[in-house]
Amino acid sequence: MKVHDLTPPPGSRTRGKRVARGIGGKGGKTAGRGMKGQRARNTVRHGFEGGQMPLNQRIPKLRGFKNPFRVEYQAVNLDTIEESGLTDVSPETLLTKGLVGKNSLIKVLGRGEITRAVTVKAHAFSKSAEVAILAADGTIEKLSLPFAVRPPASGNALMNR
């Protein structure tokens, strides 16, 4: 079999109906376009609404959503605490070591292991980090957030301390 021998199966391709070929039959005279008006006289593109702003331009697209009240933490893992050699871990001591940025909320995460007793003060803890610190005879202290209910809507959450 060669390329020029290929044909579609019989009945799969039918010819389009030829309309507007006289008054006889169903496709005569107005040829299925109704009586008068813009659509009877020429073609109107898909989605055209007669000059009104089309629906596909009226609705907002691809804008997404950015939560203005999001609380953003800076992550510190257990292996980082272990390598730092600190016994009292707090945002101030982590800042002096250069492990976190200024005015950042700290969340301790459970990557790595901790082998010694440490006192950790942070704004949030993951479950695995909490279990690992307590298992190593350490203590945890959850610091309060610098805002009452939720962070301010504009700017950095910690600017208004």
> Which tokens is 26 given?
């169903």
Tokens found for residue 99: 């492990």
Confidence band for 107, pLDDT divided at 50, 70 and 90: very high
pLDDT band at 73 (very low <50, low <70, confident <90, very high): very high
Tell me the average pLDDT across 28-47: 89
Predicted local distance difference test score (pLDDT) of residue 103: 87
Question: Which of 63, 89, 66, 64 has the alpha carbon at shortest distance from 78?
Answer: 89
For the cut 70, the answer to whether the pLDDT of residue 158 exceeds it is: no
Between 30-39, 103-112, 114-123, 144-153, the lowest mean confidence (pLDDT) is in 144-153
Beta bridge partners of 119: 88, 139
Map out the domains of the chain with their CATH numbers. Answer: 19-64 (no CATH), 73-142 (3.100.10.10)
Indicate left, alpha or beta for 90 from its phi (over 0: left) and psi (-120 to 50: alpha): beta
Query: Distance between CA 61 and CA 41 in Å, rounded?
Result: 34
What is the pLDDT averaged over residues 15-36? 88
Kindly state the average pLDDT of the residues 112-125: 93
What is the number of H-type helices and E-type strands within the chain?
Answer: 5, 6
- Residue 38 pLDDT > 60: yes
Burial class for 45, CB neighbours closer than 10 Å (0-12, 13-18, 19+):
exposed
- Tell me the HSE value of 158 on the side-chain side, using a 13 A CA sphere: 13
Higher pLDDT, 62 or 12: 12
Q: What is the pLDDT of residue 154?
A: 61
pTM (2 d.p.)? 0.55
DSSP state of 3: G
- Average pLDDT score over residue span 71-98: 92
Does the pLDDT value for residue 160 go beyond 60? Answer: no
